[in-house]
Amino acid sequence: MVHTNKHIKDVTLDGLDANYKKKSCQEGCGVYCAVSASLLVEKPVRVLGKEILPLAKRVPSLMRPLSGA
């Protein structure tokens, strides 16, 4: 979260829309963790498609018995 000295009357729709795009400071940011977690509530289909489904595809391979056991 970066402080700005921008006056409220100078805020544009493009500036507000930029909040929904990846930022250069995002990697390793603790605040982004909270934002990305809230996406599950705000955009569940998006989260399911990009996060949960790829993990679910790995489950069958994790359930196979180890050879030689």
Higher-scoring residue by pLDDT: 60, 14: 14
Question: What total number of domains does the chain contain?
Answer: 1
In a domain, residue 51? The reply is yes
Residue 35 to residue 41: CA distance in whole angstroms: 10
The span from the CA of 18 to the CA of 25, in Å, is: 13
Q: In terms of residue numbers, what domain contains 60?
A: 29-64
* pLDDT tier for residue 2 given thresholds of 50, 70 and 90: low
Q: pLDDT, tens digit, for every residue of 4-54?
A: 788 889 989 988 888 777 777 777 776 766 666 677 777 888 877 887 777
Model confidence pTM above 0.85: no
Q: Give the pLDDT confidence score for residue 66 in this predicted structure.
A: 63
Dist. CA 30–CA 7, nearest whole Å: 27
Confirm whether 18 is domain-assigned.
Answer: no
22: which 2 tokens?
């990846």
